[in-house]
Amino acid sequence: MSIITLTSDYGTIDHYVAALKGNLLSKNPSLTIVDVSHQIGSFDIVQAAFVLRHAYPAFPEGTIHCVLVHNRTDEQRLLVFRHNKHIFLVPDNGIATLMFDEIKDCYAVPSENGHINWQQRVADCVNVLKNGAEIASIGEPAGEIERRIHLNPVVTNAFIRGSAIYIDNYDNVVFNIRRELFESVSQGRDFKLYYKRHDPVVEIHKDYYNVPVGDVVCRFNDRGFLELGINMGRAASLLGIKIDDTVQVHFDE
């Protein structure tokens, strides 16, 4: 059984997702196709990278992950590479380097007369790869690929300054501050977490339900990122937080 995941900015109103699946199933009716998300913001490769980066480890080794986000131009190449025994088919628009710090053995799929029919090309690649073919069999060494830089937190002994990198369907806000970083700087010290002009948060909880309904809660999510939410509420909307907004954690001396 071959498992294929799809991540796109196609949305669910138009015919694009159905046509993509139709192309895949026409060549391989026995495929198992799993939708990671088709609600990625238009052209938002940062959001797409975050979603797939944290979804793919749940799938079996050998799964083929197809990304169709911001792939609107003929100039972009279709890349194929392996990572942790998974296969990724992505546009050469920087999304690969947003997902992973290091990309090894990356190949570019040749286009036909300088034009790529993205859905058809992805289906063709899946058709070859589903039975365990080497990725080198469908492309040529990619050489330099498009790179995008992660926005890392600013860190001193007294504070960590991070930013909002993702807002989920519940309006919980995820910051680019990992548990390991927080704990290494805090060394058990008390802290105040400042966001916008609201009163600071002074405690990390395990879950949303550890505070009364309607209260702000700060926690580390299942992927180890600092997250701000409201118990039974929509934090980003109610608190006015948007992607790239700053959060600052001050530690007591």
Instruction: Give domain limits for the chain.
Output: 3-141, 154-251
Q: What is the pTM of this model?
A: 0.88
- Cα 16 to Cα 93: distance, rounded to the nearest angstrom: 20
DSSP letter for each residue of 147-179: -----PPEE-SSEEEEEEEEE-TT--EEEEEEH
Residues 34 and 4: beta-carbon distance below 8 Å: yes
Give the pLDDT confidence score for residue 114 in this predicted structure: 59
11: region left, alpha or beta (phi > 0 left; psi from -120 to 50 alpha): left
Nearest to 67 by CA among 176, 55, 58: 55
Which architecture does CATH list for 154-251?
Answer: Beta Barrel (2.40)
Residues 195 and 245: beta-carbon distance below 8 Å: yes
CA dihedral 59→17→146→51, nearest 10 degrees, is -40
Which parts of the chain register pLDDT below 70? 1, 72-75, 112-116
Give the pLDDT confidence score for residue 117 in this predicted structure: 80
Query: Which two structure tokens, joined as six digits, stand for 14?
Result: 């138009």
Give the pLDDT confidence score for residue 151 in this predicted structure: 82
Class of domain 3-141: alpha beta
Give the pLDDT confidence score for residue 70 in this predicted structure: 86
C-alpha distances out from residue 128 to 5, 86, 101, 184, Å:
16, 15, 27, 46
Give the pLDDT confidence score for residue 173 in this predicted structure: 97
